[in-house]
Amino acid sequence: MHISVALLLELGIILAFLGLLGTLARRFALSPVPLYLLVGLALGEGGIAPVPAAGSFVETGAGIGVVLLLLVLGLEFTVPEFTVSLRRHLPSAWVDLVLNATPGAVAGWLLGLDAGGILALAGVTYISSSGIIARLLGDLRRMSNRETPAVLSVLVLEDFAMAAYLPLLAVVAAGGTWQQALLGVLLALGAVVAALTMSYWWGHHLGRLLSHPDEEQLLLRVLGVTLIVSALAEAVHVSAAVGAFLVGLSLTGEAADRARKVLSPLRDLFAAVFFLAIGLSIPPDSLLPVLPVALLLAVVTAATKVASGWYAARREGAGRRGRLRAGTALIARGEFSIVIIGLMGTGHDRLGALVAAYVLLLAVAGPVITRFTGPRASGTKHSPRQGTPVP
């Protein structure tokens, strides 16, 4: 077997440097995510130190990274508890959609974009980054906060909305008929309903099948099934992240605790690769011409995300500080926005540059703003797994 020396060298230097940055960030009680994104920007095409040999590994590892982030996040909760939370936050989902898709649609219209471009920009400003926010909640030790179920409910409902949105966008961007768009949306929504139903009624059987006393076997079983489910979800235009999250929800009790323990180091490695990949996907020379528009759009939609998170956390019974933490946690945009631009195909370079600048601004600013909205709430908090207050 031939092993590329360039790949090993580039990857080794990258990981060692990310490790140093992570240590530095945590010394100041910050999330390392913004630093990883900036490193990716510096190493991408047109950056100061491109890494051509490591590029393909980073691209593949990024997909695994977001799957692992949502899998471990799902392990923090139970299906019945999260189903109740989702039902409670359906109004929050509508508020989130209206407040955050509207600025993108209006901006697209003012910029003179076509119908596909307007629809794409509305999706970009609407959808938060599940990957970044999942990591951020862990870094800041807010998983047990009262407002966290509201944040996660909004994120998952956004991902479910993407199941209908992405097929619609693909058809509109390709100039297809409304019948084709409707068929794609109905198929994707049917897949989401089926996945939720199976996870709710038969998820406990999955836990028994995957559980094993040997940690290696547990790791292989859980990761293997998660990747299969994620692939099936992606094949029917449902986010792979949603599939991974549902697998995590399905595991309960000791199996969930042990799975979280063996998967956490793997998640941390591939999560760093995922954040690096977002930065690598953005050409630095395309950012300056569109920076003023991107900055204005970022300011407006950061405010609307805070408003929608505030509303959702209020429905969860969180106090004023908790509502503010929930709102700022939702600011970051990331992986879905890049996917949306990828669906638009060629001929949308101006829109692609605008989205790249917008995503980078909020992917970096979001975690920083969230960090400085205050520490973990004091007083009574909810334990996600047990659903009971803890001191």
d(CA 341, CA 190): 25
d(CA 163, CA 159): 7
Interacting residues of 200 by C-beta distance below 8 A, sequence separation 6+? 79, 80, 83
Domain ranges in the chain are 9-374
Q: What angle do the packed helices 291-315 and 320-329 form, to 10 degrees?
A: 140
Mean pLDDT across 48-56: 80
Token pair, residue 115, equals 């119908």
d(CA 351, CA 305): 22
d(CA 187, CA 179): 12
**Residue-wise pLDDT tens digits, 23-35:** 888 777 667 877 8
CATH topology of domain 9-374: Na+/H+ antiporter like fold (1.20.1530)
Supply the pLDDT for residue 224.
93
Residue 293 has pLDDT above 90, yes or no: yes
d(CA 154, CA 148): 10
The least confident of 131-135, 193-197, 232-236 is: 193-197
Supply the pLDDT for residue 379.
41
What is the value of pTM for the model shown?
Answer: 0.74
| Three-class DSSP labels, the chain | CCCCHHHHHHHHHHHHHHHHHHHHHHHCCCCCHHHHHHHHHHHCCCCCCCCCCCHHHHHHHHHHHHHHHHHHHHCCCCHHHHHHHHHHCHHHHHHHHHHHHHHHHHHHHHCCCCHHHHHHHHHHHHCCCHHHHHHHHHHCCCCCCCCHHHHHHHHHHHHHHHHHHHHHHHHHHCCCCHHHHHHHHHHHHHHHHHHHHHHHHHHHHHHHHHCCCCHHHHHHHHHHHHHHHHHHHHHCCCCHHHHHHHHHHHCCHHHHHHHHHHHHHHHHHHHHHHHHHHHHCCCHHHCHHHHHHHHHHHHHHHHHHHHHHHHHHHHCCCCHHHHHHHHHHCCCCCHHHHHHHHHHCCCCHHHHHHHHHHHHHHHHHHHHHHHCCCCCCCCCEECCCCCCEEC
Q: Look up tokens 């993108």; give the residue.
A: 104
**Residue-wise pLDDT tens digits, 142-192:** 888 889 888 988 988 887 787 778 777 877 777 766 777 677 677 766 766
Average pLDDT, the chain: 81
Q: Is 46 left (phi over 0), alpha (psi -120 to 50) or beta?
A: left
Residue 390 has pLDDT above 70, yes or no: no
Of 255 and 80, the structure prediction assigns the larger pLDDT to 255
Supply the pLDDT for residue 105.
95
Cβ–Cβ < 8 Å for 42, 300: no
Mean pLDDT across 303-327: 93
